[in-house]
Structure 1
Amino acid sequence: MSSTWIRNVRMPGKGELVSGNIFVRDGRIEGVFINGETASQQADQEIDGGGQLLIPGMIDVHIHGADGFDMMDGTAASVEAVSAACARSGCTSFLATSVSSSLEDLLRMIDSVVAVTGHEPGARIAGLHIEGPYLNAKRKGMQNERYLRHPDMEEMELIAKKSGPLLRMVTLAPELPGGLELVRYLNNRGIIAAIAHSDATYEQAKEAFREGASHVTHCFNGMRPIHHRDPGIVVAAFEEEHVSVQAIVDHVHLHPAIVRLLYREKGPDKMVLVTDALQAMGLGDGTYMFGGHAVTVKDGVATLQDGTLASSTVTMNEALAKTVRSGIPVSDAVRMATEAPANIIGLSGKGKLAPQADADLVLLNDRFEVLWTMVSGRIVFAKWDQS
């Protein structure tokens, strides 16, 4: 048994930040004390937060790689490296995300994620997000066209069997032959059917949402754009209360005005911050191989040779900072990075500062830099250890 007092911190409250202390025991939050409230529990250790911002651990439901490692490498070492990199950015849980590939490479990636789950050095694996290969070549973005194909239910059954309970999300184009059948299959099994890399019309998207699709991957990117006579997927999603949307807030994929529009339309409970990061996250500019393509990162922007955006290099704490700078209140921006993704992918006990919640916690300074990251009551990254 171990216990920790985290004292002298600011925490997100209802619309404002509040001062307080948190008591952690055996990997869970036992008490949250705000605005001068006190408690007499004795602890094994105390951490002085120095008046900095304490938030729940962030949850990234869409990340491909970091630190030069790609989830599609198909090795445990790559998954472990991404776990450690996530922790440095204040992310404590993530969905290991694939790109369109051969079935053999996808199954190898799944095997590596399964092998690491439960033994992560940093952020915990919350599950798998299979992005592709059932995507529309017309909206392929950086996805490799040679691997794109129509939904194949026999193949999907094999993917689901390999993944087991880790399969939490599949991104697809529902307008493809077999697309709606796949949406129904996923929905019946409690797996999130997400839409992207899709040329679906407004009407096709509405039908997919009626059949059980409930999420839009990297909203506005890789899909039919809004037009006043052809509203497309995004407007259909705005009209469906049950549909949540991902936002890559790196000020490249989305203009700040679009970030504010998503916030007004979907609110902090249905708008989820993601990185969609490739292996350049944490390394910076250079040339990388991703999804079978050469990707150039310049000034932090990843593109293919033709200028197509190829994922991002943003981290979760940077995305949080940019969301706030876009004009979103801090407390709501934090919910988009923590509680909203936890609720959407069904992680009970995560994403909140409350008694009995998991002690997945992050301390940030006023520039949203990560000072330390705690997973299940244990500090897995501390800035003072990096000198």
Structure 2
Amino acid sequence: MPSGRSTRTRLTGARVVTPGGVVEGGEVAFEGGVILPDRPPGAAEPADTAVLDLAGHWLVPGFVDLHVHGGGGASFSAGDAAEALRVVATHRAHGTTTLVASMVTGALDELAAQAGVLSELVEQGDLAGVHFEGPFIAENRCGAHDPALLRDPDPADVRKLVDAARGTARMLTLAPERSGGLDSVRLLRELGVLAAVGHTDASYEVTRRAIDAGASVATHLFNAMPPLAHRAPGPIAALLEDERVTVELINDGTHLHPSVLGLAFRSAGAGRVALITDAMGAAGMGDGAYPLGPLRVAVVDGVARIVDERTPPGTGAIAGSTLTLDRALRRSVTVDGLPVEDAVRALSGTPARLLGLADRVGSIEPGKDADLVVLDAGFTVVGVVRKGEWLAAP
């Protein structure tokens, strides 16, 4: 693959996934970090154009991850800019050209300090925003969050965290059944921050009220919430059925059964599904011991679980994932049988729309950023372009 930035680059021969479908033997040109309009038939091309034949490959838009905690042995919750950039570099190498930094539950002052560090990286263009996952979640559904640090979502505390992010907060996950939950959802809507329902014991009725108050995201649907029941449908039914809600799904083969993934896509449609990683520090690494906020995590056979002395080894709560979005794409298409267009939309277009970035990223269209991923026939990443610059291959 080429390296660095060329005056003009033209990619030819690939199967290009566009908003209108798959274009066989397609052509995409970019210059100055922006995708160019299609070349008119017979039009001359600048002599310095770098032409790359991608026959036998796929060309898709750069992935957009709404929900990622770490990777490359690093974590956003460390509150360290250099460590955060290591997370970013790890996921970029796997095709994620736009990502939101997620933080796990911590003390309010610690979360505020972490958000301050991450906000600078948002301002520099390295991140697309900050996501607070906790501490306003349910103890009974806390998963890999320290239950001792959980608290009710008092609107004053919610505002404190949003203010600490200095305009870069994009999403906050909460349990709407907790005291102050619905008022906090309304506040988040006023502040222009996505309110996400997750790690919750909310009933169907409370979840409906949260959506009406402004909640528009389901944090990793199905996980860390009551299962769907025929007399008590709980939050899953409410979140799936409402067209105002985008549902996150973790497709790593551990968090969801393939039939459940298919159910979600059929119920919500590809336009309301965002495939995420919820990745922790082990993403892009191997098995071993890793921190996740104040907790310890053991990764065995690629599955991350909390280390809890009260339970047998390997039986602790699942602690995020070790997923990267290229693996999510490969599994969605080759294992779950999703159409490539639907999987790519869930990885790029839908999360870009949710973040308000669809005018710049999320699809291969003229005028948008040249954020592109080249995959071989088996959907393995062989090249990544971000804003017109070729990055190191994974």
Q: TM-score, normalised by structure 2?
A: 0.92
Closer, same or farther: CA 39–12 of 1 in aligned 2, 3 Å: farther
Match of 1:176 among 175, 178, 184: 178
**Deviation per CA, 1:256-306, whole angstroms, max 9, x where unpaired?**
111101110111110001000000011111111213222111110111234
Q: Tell me whether 107-116 or 141-150 shows the greater mean CA deviation.
A: 107-116
Question: Does residue 116 in structure 1 map to residue 121 in structure 2?
Answer: yes
Closer, same or farther: CA 244–38 of 1 in aligned 2, 3 Å: farther
CA contact (8 A) 1:171 1:194 kept: yes
CA contact (8 A) 2:14 2:56 kept: yes
1:28 aligned partner: 34
Question: Does residue 316 in structure 1 map to residue 325 in structure 2?
Answer: yes
Matched residue SS, 1:117? helix
Closer, same or farther: CA 38–293 of 1 in aligned 2, 3 Å: farther
Amino acid at match of 1:316: L
TM alignment of 1:5-16, pairs within 5 A: 5-13=10-18, 14-16=20-22
Amino acid at match of 2:364: L
Question: Does residue 40 in structure 1 map to residue 50 in structure 2?
Answer: no
Closer, same or farther: CA 197–276 of 1 in aligned 2, 3 Å: same
Q: CA deviation at 1:136?
A: 0.6
Matched residue SS, 2:240? helix
Match of 1:341 among 339, 351, 374: 351
In 1: Cα distance, 2:42 partner to 2:244 partner: 40
Question: Does residue 285 in structure 1 map to residue 287 in structure 2?
Answer: yes
In 2: Cα distance, 1:209 partner to 1:39 partner: 52
Q: CA deviation at 1:192?
A: 0.7
Q: CA deviation at 1:119?
A: 4.4
Matched residue SS, 2:26? strand
Match of 1:266 among 245, 265, 268: 268
Q: Tell me whether 301-310 or 81-90 shows the greater mean CA deviation.
A: 301-310
Q: Tell me whether 284-293 or 59-68 shows the greater mean CA deviation.
A: 284-293
Count of residue pairs brought into register by the alignment: 378
2:104 aligned partner: 99
Matched residue SS, 1:342? helix
2:95 aligned partner: 90
2:258 aligned partner: 256
Matched residue SS, 2:166? helix
Matched residue SS, 1:209? helix
In 1: Cα distance, 2:218 partner to 2:120 partner: 29
CA contact (8 A) 1:317 1:369 kept: yes
Q: CA deviation at 1:162?
A: 1.9
CA contact (8 A) 2:276 2:325 kept: yes
Matched residue SS, 1:382? coil
Amino acid at match of 1:166: T
TM alignment of 1:1-387, pairs within 5 A: 2-13=7-18, 14-32=20-38, 39-42=43-46, 43-119=48-124, 124-305=126-307, 306=311, 307=315, 308-324=317-333, 325-347=335-357, 348-382=359-393
CA contact (8 A) 1:97 1:129 kept: yes
CA contact (8 A) 2:240 2:247 kept: no
In 1: Cα distance, 2:300 partner to 2:34 partner: 41
- Give the RMSD, CA atoms, in angstroms: 1.7
**Deviation per CA, 1:206-257, whole angstroms, max 9, x where unpaired?**
1101111011010000111111111011101122111110000001000011
**Deviation per CA, 1:142-182, whole angstroms, max 9, x where unpaired?**
11111100012222222222212311111100010000000
Matched residue SS, 1:47? strand
Amino acid at match of 2:351: P
Question: 5+ unaligned residues in a row in structure 2: which ranges?
Answer: 1-5
**Deviation per CA, 1:187-218, whole angstroms, max 9, x where unpaired?**
12221100100000000001101111011010
In 2: Cα distance, 1:30 partner to 1:64 partner: 34
Aligned-residue sequence identity (percent) comes to 36
CA contact (8 A) 1:15 1:332 kept: no
In 1: Cα distance, 2:392 partner to 2:194 partner: 31
In 2: Cα distance, 1:131 partner to 1:38 partner: 53
Matched residue SS, 1:200? coil
**Deviation per CA, 1:124-150, whole angstroms, max 9, x where unpaired?**
411111101100101111111111000
Q: CA deviation at 1:37?
A: 6.2
In 2: Cα distance, 1:76 partner to 1:46 partner: 37
